[in-house]
């Protein structure tokens, strides 16, 4: 059993309410258990005290349309991968994609599939919104937290 498969199983378990997960493959058995204990915070080195930063006293006036244009795309709401695996924007190669740019998405709607350990996990939207951009290509490997969709 290789490290990427173990990581995928850990990601699947962390994204669910499972308290125990066991898998046997090619003579290896891996068992993951969640004991529910909260880890004690580790002591950290003291950080330097932040220094105040000078701010400008006056800024030029900006119209509402100019302000909307100045908001960076990165500030838009993102949907991130909930687990590690291979991203698929469609259920199978001969079917249409679940979503495309410009689509109105409802919370709970299937937006993609992430394949982890030969298991196809259906991923649903966590919010309503309009798809502004798809940030990963179908067939690519994504990690937990990798941005997949930017909403308007």
Q: How far is CA 92 from the centre of its chain?
A: 22
pLDDT, tens digit, 9 for 90 and up, residues 124-136 = 999 899 999 999 9
Range of the domain at 22: 3-33
Domain count, the chain: 2
Q: Is residue 94 part of a domain?
A: yes
- What is the pLDDT, as a whole number, of residue 51? 58
> Is the same domain home to 12 and 79?
no
CA dihedral 17, 23, 29, 31 (to 10 degrees): 0
CA dihedral 131, 137, 141, 144 (to 10 degrees): -20
Q: Is residue 38 part of a domain?
A: no
pLDDT, tens digit, 9 for 90 and up, residues 17-66 = 777 777 777 777 777 787 764 444 445 455 555 555 554 444 455 444 44
Alpha-carbon radius of gyration of the chain: 21
Q: Where are the beta strands (DSSP E) in the chain?
A: 20-25, 28-33, 78-80, 85-88, 104-105, 110-116, 119-124, 129-134, 141-142, 147-151
Q: Is residue 68 part of a domain?
A: no
pLDDT greater at residue 96 or residue 72: 96
């Amino acid at each position: 059993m290789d490290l990427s498969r173990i990581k995928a199983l850990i990601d699947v378990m962390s994204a669910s309410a499972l308290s125990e997960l066991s898998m046997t493959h090619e003579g290896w058995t891996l068992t993951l258990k969640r004991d529910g204990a909260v880890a004690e915070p580790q002591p950290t080195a003291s950080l330097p005290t932040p220094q105040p930063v000078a701010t400008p006293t006056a800024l030029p006036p900006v119209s509402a349309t100019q302000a909307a244009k100045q908001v960076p795309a990165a500030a838009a709401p993102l949907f991130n991968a909930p687990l590690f695996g291979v991203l698929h924007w469609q259920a199978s190669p001969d079917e249409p994609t679940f979503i495309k740019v410009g689509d109105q998405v409802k919370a709970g709607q299937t937006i993609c599939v992430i394949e982890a350990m030969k298991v196809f996990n259906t991923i649903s939207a966590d919010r309503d919104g309009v798809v502004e951009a798809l940030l990963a290509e179908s067939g690519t490997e994504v990690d937990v937290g990798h941005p997949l969709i930017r909403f308007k």
